[in-house]
Amino acid sequence: MVVLKDKARSLLALAISAALAVTVAAPAGAHTPDIKPDETLVVYGNPLYGMSPSEETGGYGVDSATVGTKTPAALKDIPQSITVLTNDYIEERNFVAVDDLAKFTPGLRTLVNDSGRSSIFSRGYEYDEVNLNGLPSPMQSKYGTLPSLAAVDRVEIMRGPSGLFNSTSELGGVINMVLKRPTDAFKGSVTARYGSWDRHYLEADMGGALNDEGSLRGRVVVANADIKNQVDYNNNDNGTYYGTLEFDLSDRTRLSVYALHQTKDILPTNGLPAYKDGSLLDIGRSTYLGSAEDFFDADTTDVGASLQHAFANGGVGQVSARYMDHDMRLEQTFTNGPVDVAGNTGLMFNGQGNQQKNMAFDANYSQMFDLLGHKSEFVLGSDYKRYESDIQTYTNRNLGKINVFDFDPIRVAKPDYSYTKNDHEEQSELGLYGKVTWRLMEPLSVITGARVSWYDLDAVSTTLSSGAQSGESSAFNGKLTPYAGAVYDLSDEHAWYASYSKVFKPQTSQDESGNLLKPREGSQWETGIKSSLRDGLLNTRATLFLMKDDNIAAQAYDDQGIAITNTYWATGKVETQGVELEASGYLSQNWMVMAGYTFTDIEEKAGDHNPKFDTIPRHALSLWTDYHLADWVQGLHLGAGMTAVSDYGFNQKGVETHQGGYALFDAAVRYEINDRMQATLNLYNLLDREYFYRVGSTSTFNMYGEPANLMAGFTYKL
């Protein structure tokens, strides 16, 4: 037994070393929960610093999070809307990329493109940053920077501004992806899935202690996914290579490091055009109107480290750093105008490259203290982020005429080309922040905070044929962003909350004259009731919100409905209000649920119309439930779900594409054969509903949803 243990440890150490080395050297470019605290780090203050990963607690619910708070806090004590999607939920739904997950998350709207290249919206606004372990980087759908989920333990989603710790993030909120940690004891698993359209997924995950004392632990995850869909010629290959180490330098100090390398190899699609009056095509759902030789290739390398120390006085200090290197190249052919009555339209070509070097740092100290006989808590810190990118472009708007009903992608002749333009951009932000949770009396907590930020932006555009340059720069110093909130415990299980938050967002978008748009300033009022039921195993939320946004940028289009590259309009003032209801966790010992309803009303008070607001349905409902039939067949689980939305569209200059409301139904069967083996079968769009998941202009971005399909899987635990 000792020999086997040593061999497993040696194999794990070798795998982690190889994963870390390969990643860093890579080219740029069903059970009831068993909740137990993390005992490897002794914390004498806030006990939630010892919160366990969701893969250990199990189920669809957790009772605490870190997104938007910096320090871990119970969901009921955070005066904003938080959803946590656990490891069990991610795996049971077969989600591969974060945008796959977002399509089934209450309150989120996904404008689908290729998986891993979609736009994710909340309360009418696109998420433009994603955090890994609390540190941000840009999340840009067209450049493929949306992370895959193989290395992720849980996804924490905040809706609404998070200006205190993310002052320049979008009004929609913040997504924090918490990476998998090494396990104390040796654990491993191998997963294989296969489904419709030759989709497949392979994953190996192994972790455990690397020395006898257990003070050095490691983990490695390797995954490959081909998540193509029904569209002809489509392929979507994703690779994930992840390694992480944790060192207990003492019983109070822990050092964590990780390296994550992800690849994307996609034949991209921009969907279908529409008729001139906005009517959608009645054409096969597999239709592809591009070149068979189009491609999207991307390589992303992420490395990070964190040092955490628990002081004897109960305080906790943490220093974290993250660096991301991203390299992308795209060649894509798509339609350039509406379809006439005979089915004729034109093609255009876009060639693009993108290189990014992004870094983020954070240092903070938090401590609980006694005030009026109650435990209050403060956090003080500083953060810094720097994003640098280059974008090369070439566009040929007239690649010839085609007929959408008689089209062969193999016969498309793509142009020989060289990039005509390079856009270089550097932006940085330094911030100082502080937050205090005042517990003034037994049922009441008041949260106050402020952030001071210094922001710099430099943008230079170069015409490559002549070397001519034009540029813009801006700087904002000492910008103050306040925050306030309150939580009142109505009982041990229920609490009323309210909050006020702001964001200040300098814009990198330019108008027709090449001038930077003025910074946006947004604010939100939010109030609601949160409940933590069944000892934290079931969390519910009812929310009302009102957001205001000034000087928002909207994509500029030419008279043919074609987006003008890197050109935007300022639409003035927008107000968004809505209602959200959500429940997640265990309804009973064997019954889990993830459900939510959202009502969103967006009103443009002044300025140009932004068609993307039309794509947000006023009503959206998402439901998934899993029931363990333990009294009939031990280990057998049945899952069922529904996603329903009201109508939505895309109105550009009075011409609207439109999709009526619909409901989709999914199901799953999961059987735990024994403690080591599990078989799964997931069924999607059971009634084979034909619909457009996304509608766009009359030129492009009208995309059918997937027909009925399935995915079968098997997992073996080592």
Q: Using 50, 70 and 90 to split pLDDT, how confident is the model at 45?
A: low
Q: Which two tokens stand for residue 625?
A: 């439930």
Question: Which of 64 and 189 is assigned the larger pLDDT?
Answer: 189
Over residues 565-578, the mean pLDDT reads 84
Q: Which two tokens stand for residue 105?
A: 């998350």
Q: Does 11 score more than 50 pLDDT? A: no
Residue 487: which residues within 8 A CB-CB, separation 6 or more? 76, 77, 79, 444, 445, 447, 495, 496, 497
Q: Does 237 score more than 80 pLDDT? A: yes
C-beta separation of 206 from 220 below 8 A: yes
pLDDT of residue 571: 65
Q: Using 50, 70 and 90 to split pLDDT, how confident is the model at 162?
A: confident
C-beta separation of 328 from 297 below 8 A: yes
Amino acid at 714: F
Q: Does 474 score more than 60 pLDDT? A: yes
Percent of the chain with pLDDT over 90: 77
Average pLDDT value over all residues in the chain: 91
pLDDT of residue 609: 86
Percent of the chain with pLDDT over 70: 93
pLDDT of residue 9: 53
pLDDT of residue 572: 79
pLDDT of residue 438: 95
Domain range enclosing 673: 2-717
Q: Out of 71-75, 391-395, 481-485, which region has the weakest mean confidence (pLDDT)?
A: 71-75
pLDDT of residue 564: 80
Over residues 85-108, the mean pLDDT reads 95
Quote the strand ranges of 490-618, DSSP E.
494-505, 520-533, 538-550, 553-557, 563-570, 573-588, 591-604
CB-based burial, 683-705: b 16+ in 10 Å, e otherwise: bbbeeeeebbbbbbbbbbbbbbb
pLDDT of residue 3: 40
Summarize pLDDT for 599-614 with one digit per residue, the tens.
Answer: 999 999 987 788 999 9
C-beta separation of 386 from 452 below 8 A: no
Q: Using 50, 70 and 90 to split pLDDT, how confident is the model at 25?
A: very low
pLDDT of residue 44: 46
CATH of the domain at 579: 2.40.170.20
C-alpha torsion angle, residues 684, 687, 692, 694 (rounded to 10): -30
How many structural domains compose the chain? 1
CA separation for the pair 497, 537 (Å, rounded): 20
